[in-house]
Structure formats: C-alpha cells, structure tokens
Amino acid sequence: MSMINNRIEYINELAEENPQALVARAELRYRNIINNISEKALDETGRKVIMLAGPSSSGKTTTANKIAQNFTSLGMNTHVISLDDFYLNREDIPGYAEGNPDFETVYALDLPLISSTLGSLLQGNTTDMPSFDFTTGSRKPDYAKLKLEKNDAVIVEGLHALNPIVTSGIDNHRLMKIYISVSSRIYDSKGKIILNKRNLRFVRRVIRDYNFRASSVNNTYKLWENVCKGEDLYLFPYKEFADVRINSIHLCEPCIFRDTIIERLESAEIDEQYLPDAKKLIHAVKKFKSLDSSLVPKDSLLREFIGQI
C-alpha cells in the first residue's frame, strides 16, 4: 500500500495552489495500484477468479470495472460478476419467517449455486449466470450465458467475496483475493483525526444515495448502523485473507465533496439521534478547501458517487 500525505494542511495547501495537481496525484496513485494488480495476475496462466470485497462505498464497482478493462487490454477477456445476483429468494433468507430477513449474512446467498457456477466457469463450460431482481426479491427466470476461454478471467465482487465459505470449492491457484476500502484517516499537523475511515465512506454514501438511489440523508443514517454491523461481522474478519489490499482514498475527495455534503446535511430533516453526528461531520468538512467537481476525470472512482457532469 503506497504511502500518502494524509494531512489536512498538505491537502488544503495543494488545493489552494494547484488543485489540478491534487486531483491528478490521487488519480495517478489509484491507477498505479490497478496496473500493479494487472501485472501480478498476468504472471500466472489459466483461467482466473478475482474475488473483490470491501465495505460500503469503498469503490468496489469502479475498481472491478477498471481491473476488467485493464485485463482485457492485456489480452485477458474479463467479466464482472456481483455476488448480489446470487441472493436466495427473499422468503428463503434467514430471519424471513420472523419478519427480519438478514440480507447481510453470507447465508443469504445461494452458496451451492456460487460454487457450481464458478466451478463450471473454471472448467471452460458455457455456464448459466443468475440475475437477482431486488424489486420482487427473487431471482429472474432468464439466465445469461458465459464461457471463459483458456486465459480469461472473472471478477466476483461483493461483501462476502473473501469469506472462505464462498471460495471453499475453488483451487487457490486460480484465485486472487483483493480487499478494497478507505484505509487512511485524515489528520491535522498535531495528529488529531479530522475525518476517519468510516466518515469518508459515509460522505461518499450520502452523496451516492441522494444522486442515484433517491435516498434521503436520514434514510442513509438509518441504514448505516446495520451496514456497519454487517461489515464488522461478515467482512472485516476475512480481510487478512486478501492477497492484495487497495486503499481507495483520494486525498482530493474531502475538497470535492465539501460543499455538496454540507448542503445535504444542513438542509436535510434528520432524526434527533443523528443530529450530533451530522453537526460534527459538518464542522470537520468545513475545514477543507472547496474544489469544483469538474476537476474530476470522467473515469475517476469518485464519479461512482458524484456522477457525471
């Protein structure tokens, strides 16, 4: 994991003097990580399964697509699979009978189907690929077809991608396990934390939920507690199994997100229990210089949250 200067003084100074450089350095650092992963995968031959796991708003979707694009440009046709498409039908998920289905547990997934699907792909067979309809809470009746040629790869992304239960039937020599998250805090020169890792991911999620999921700030707060519990129980215990770790922080992001997150938090109707956290977050984000989102490249990971111009 590359070293970064995660001090607010450095971020604000560069944002003031050369904002393009602040954004460019963040993008270059992330691009180098993707390139290094590609080189590592190409050192081995045969069909590959890349398991990509990370907590909410870590940038899994963009990263999976970036790796796939890189692999394909190097001669490895690469496909992205989401573990979300392997959910059991809602009524079969643990806790459904009691009225509280647990969508976070690994047992909400059709584990035998995951094993048989990945095994079939690695054998070079034409394989039925499921798709889950979140509106109906059930698997769609139609299946896409996928076949991996000799040197092709598939990227499997999701919360449980590093769980040994999910990968137990796969030859380890065929696997590359990747963990992605925001893995750096932002400090001041005295060592005080200005924004912690979950703060940074929460800001990303608030903006993404508002832009793409018609979700209010208050609703994001309501969901966040269970999301974090799920990460603590079902993701973080397995991150040590990763062959590669990606720190998806972009040091420019507090500056890019600054005005938007302040406006969202200040204008939202927020339940009283969340108000102290919202006020604390506003206070922290106001310490950063503001940068216009037009500085962010169209293919940036940050576009997963702010969208295109």
Pick from 126, 241, 129, 87: nearest CA to 175? 241
Q: Any idea which residue has 């208050």 for tokens?
A: 218
As for how many domains the chain has, the answer is 1
Using pLDDT thresholds of 50, 70 and 90, give the confidence band for residue 26: very high
Could you tell me the two tokens for 176?
A: 């590359």
Please give the Cα distance from 137 to 205 (Å, whole number). Answer: 23
- Is residue 189 a part of any domain in this protein? yes
Query: CA 23 from chain center: how many Å?
Result: 20
Q: Dig out the tokens for 172 from the structure.
A: 């380890």
- pLDDT, greater one: 37 or 309: 37
- 9-23 pLDDT, tens digit per residue, is 999 999 999 999 999
Report the SS3 class of residue 60. Answer: helix
Residue with tokens 């970064």, as numbered in its chain: 4
- Give tens-digit pLDDT for 207-263: 999 999 888 999 999 999 989 998 999 999 999 999 999 999 999 999 999 999 999
Q: What is the largest CA-CA distance in the chain?
A: 59
Strand (E) or helix (H) holding 39: helix 19-42
309: pLDDT strictly greater than 70:
no
Is 151 among the domain residues?
yes
Average of per-residue pLDDT across 116-133: 95
Mean pLDDT calculated for residue range 100-121: 92
Helix (H, G, I), strand (E, B) or coil at 235: coil
CATH code assigned at 12: 3.40.50.300
| pLDDT given at position 2 | 53
As a whole number, mean pLDDT of residues 49-61 equals: 94
Predicted local distance difference test score (pLDDT) of residue 62: 93
Q: Is 225 exposed, middle or buried (0-12, 13-18, 19+ CB in 10 A)?
A: exposed
Contact present, 129 and 144 (Cβ < 8 Å):
yes
Count of beta carbons in the 10 Å neighbourhood of residue 27: 18
Q: In this structure, is residue 13 part of a structural domain?
A: yes
Domain that includes residue 183, residue range: 8-306
Q: Cα 11 to the chain's mean position, in Å?
A: 23
pTM of the predicted model as reported, rounded to 2 decimal places: 0.91
Q: Is 197 within a domain?
A: yes
Tokens encoding 118: 């990945």
Which one, of 228, 229, 221, lies nearest residue 281 by Cα? Answer: 221
Judge whether 112 lies within some domain. yes
Q: Identify whether the C-beta of residue 291 lies closer than 8 Å to the C-beta of residue 202.
A: no
> For residue 1, is pLDDT > 60?
no
Least confident piece of the model among 101-105, 198-202, 265-269: 101-105
CA distance 188 to 204: 21
Would you say residue 3 lies in a domain?
A: no
Mean pLDDT of 97-102: 82
Mean model confidence pLDDT for the chain: 93
DSSP secondary-structure letter at 193?
Answer: E
Question: By three-state DSSP, how is residue 130 classified?
Answer: coil
